[in-house]
Amino acid sequence: MKHSILVTGGAGYIGSHTTLALLEAGHEVIVLDNLANSSLESLRRVERICGKAATFVEGDIRDRALLDSIFARYSIDAVLHFAGLKAVGESVQQPLAYYENNVSGSVVLFQAMAAASVFNLVFSSSATVYGEPKQMPISEDCPTGTPTNPYGRSKLMIEEILRDLSLSEPRWSIAVLRYFNPVGAHSSGLIGEDPNGIPNNLLPYISQVAVGKLQKLSVYGDDYPTVDGTGVRDYIHVVDLADGHLKALAAIATEQGVHVWNLGTGQGYSVLQMVSAFEQAAGVTVPYAIVPRRGGDIAECWADPKKAAHELGWQAKHSLDDMMHDTWRWQQSNPNGFSQ
Ligand code: NAD
Ligand code: UDP
């Protein structure tokens, strides 16, 4: 069935891949984005890939009057809420900007949704809410922990707000999607991750070293209790992640309350395994140096993805090799990201 979906942050990395998947599935998409960390070029490329366009509204989720006008103008069935700031280090430097954008912005969005009687919501959360995990793999019934930074805390706060909201008004149908480590790009090479400045995340850093923009990778610690001493994470292809949103959207159409789903592959890879998988896929050498651990990092983290498999009929399909090939194609064809 065709729906009208409001996608906040839809010009960004995960939002643009999900907008594409929604358009391909025949939905009408309205993107609201203030372009704080993205460019409209991503949505032009989405249109190039699928021949359909999302309606774009430039603006902020903190702008209540704008939200009210969007809900009045379009008959929105559900909101996919990606908008927010996501740089962990920056969140330590500027906590108020993070709480204002992520927490206050979400509150304004939820108020506008309630006023418009739109109660279907898919929220982008993160595995960071589990804090230092006590067991592996991490299933949804593992307790949430203490995130080590304001970014992570902002995600946990929003999750708690959503639980309170659902208790107060049973019409809310909410999917909380806890992403593990999103990587990769669309196989066309037209859309992908375009980090601002020097990347914080591993795979964008590796690919910028490979393309010659950065000199060498710093591997943050080789003394963790892991397979080779380097940090282990569950990397998930962004196209699989986008598909998870469509499945979650379908699930909440018939189920009220708050539902939490991990979106991960269930398989962890170390930093050095990632380097060598990338080198193999790209056919280039990635110079690296071992440096001290990065503050706030955990040793390892990977998902138990069974709940999403059982309840959503979703599982990640792309292999590590796909993630590497797609990242490399995107990086090579767009060495300067969306700004040519
Ligand atoms: P992104 O920065 O590429 O996308 C976020 C988008 O939101 C950007 O286009 C930005 O311009 C927009 N935005 C920011 N503040 C806004 C505001 N106040 N009003 C309107 N638009 C605003 O990030 P992404 O990687 O696509 O992440 C999407 C969501 O998923 C975020 O909420 C992020 O916290 C969450 N998440 C990301 C990761 C990851 O590693 N990429 C992991 C877990 C969770
Ligand atoms: N990492 C690294 N060098 C980098 C960036 C990341 O060694 O330049 C490591 C990091 O310590 C962690 C893994 O790569 O073990 C994934 O880090 P990323 O920042 O991509 O994601 P996180 O899981 O921290 O959100």
Task: Give pLDDT tens digits for 87-110.
Answer: 999 999 999 999 999 999 999 999
Separation of 202 CA from ligand 2 center, angstroms?
5
Supply the pLDDT for residue 67.
Answer: 98
Is the CB of residue 82 below 6 angstroms from any atom belonging to ligand 1? yes
- Probe residue for ligand 2, chosen from 202, 220, 265 as the CB with the greatest number of ligand atoms within 8 Å: 202
Pairing between strand 217-220 and 288-291? parallel
Q: Are 308 and 238 in contact (CB under 8 A)?
A: no
Report how far residue 116's alpha carbon sits from residue 232's, in angstroms, rounded to the nearest whole number.
Answer: 43
Is the CB of residue 116 below 6 angstroms from any atom belonging to ligand 2? no
Separation of 227 CA from ligand 1 center, angstroms?
31
Band (pLDDT 50/70/90 cuts) for residue 339 is confident
Token match 């071992």: residue? 290
Supply the pLDDT for residue 301.
Answer: 96
Q: Are 312 and 255 in contact (CB under 8 A)?
A: no
CA dist 203 → 30, 219, 328 (Å): 30, 12, 10
- Probe residue for ligand 2, chosen from 128, 129, 193, 201 as the CB with the greatest number of ligand atoms within 8 Å: 201
Q: Which atom of ligand 2 is nearest to the CA of 230?
A: 15
- Taking residue 250's Cβ as centre, other Cβ atoms within 10 Å add up to 17
Separation of 15 CA from ligand 1 center, angstroms?
8
Decide if 151 is catalytic: yes
Q: Are 269 and 324 in contact (CB under 8 A)?
A: no
E strand spans, 45-109: 55-58, 78-81
Residue having the nearest C-alpha atom to atom 31 of ligand 1: 82
pTM over the 0.75 mark: yes
- Taking residue 107's Cβ as centre, other Cβ atoms within 10 Å add up to 16
Supply the pLDDT for residue 65.
Answer: 98
Task: Give pLDDT tens digits for 207-230.
Answer: 999 999 999 999 999 999 999 999
Residue having the nearest C-alpha atom to atom 17 of ligand 1: 60
Residue type, 95: P
Is the CB of residue 209 below 6 angstroms from any atom belonging to ligand 2? no
Is the CB of residue 105 below 6 angstroms from any atom belonging to ligand 1? yes
Task: Give pLDDT tens digits for 293-309.
Answer: 998 899 999 999 999 99
Residue having the nearest C-alpha atom to atom 9 of ligand 1: 12
pLDDT at residue 340 tops 70: no
pLDDT at residue 322 tops 70: yes
| CB neighbour list of residue 273: distance below 8 Å, 6 or more residues apart | 227, 228
E strand spans, the chain: 4-8, 28-33, 55-58, 78-81, 120-126, 173-179, 181-183, 217-220, 232-233, 235-237, 257-263, 269-270, 288-291, 300-301
Supply the pLDDT for residue 289.
Answer: 98
Residue having the nearest C-alpha atom to atom 6 of ligand 2: 202
Supply the pLDDT for residue 296.
Answer: 87
Supply the pLDDT for residue 82.
Answer: 99
Mean per-residue pLDDT, 109-129: 98
Supply the pLDDT for residue 156.
Answer: 98
From 98, 99, 151, 205, active-site residue: 151
Is the CB of residue 148 below 6 angstroms from any atom belonging to ligand 2? no
Q: Are 42 and 18 in contact (CB under 8 A)?
A: no
* pLDDT > 70 fraction of the chain, expressed in percent and rounded: 99
Report how far residue 221's alpha carbon sits from residue 299's, in angstroms, rounded to the nearest whole number.
Answer: 9
Report how far residue 19's alpha carbon sits from residue 52's, in angstroms, rounded to the nearest whole number.
Answer: 10
Separation of 14 CA from ligand 1 center, angstroms?
7
Q: Please name which ligand lies nearest the alpha carbon of 84.
A: 1
Supply the pLDDT for residue 2.
Answer: 77
Separation of 219 CA from ligand 2 center, angstroms?
8
Report how far residue 80's alpha carbon sits from residue 123's, in angstroms, rounded to the nearest whole number.
Answer: 6
Q: Which two tokens stand for residue 19?
A: 């907008």
Report how far residue 237's alpha carbon sits from residue 327's, in angstroms, rounded to the nearest whole number.
Answer: 10
Supply the pLDDT for residue 134.
Answer: 86
Is the CB of residue 275 below 6 angstroms from any atom belonging to ligand 1? no
Give the chain's mean pLDDT: 97
Mean per-residue pLDDT, 245-272: 97
DSSP 138: B
DSSP string, 111-122: HHHHHTT--EEE
Task: Give pLDDT tens digits for 129-159.
Answer: 999 888 999 999 999 988 989 999 999 999 9
Is the CB of residue 200 below 6 angstroms from any atom belonging to ligand 2? yes
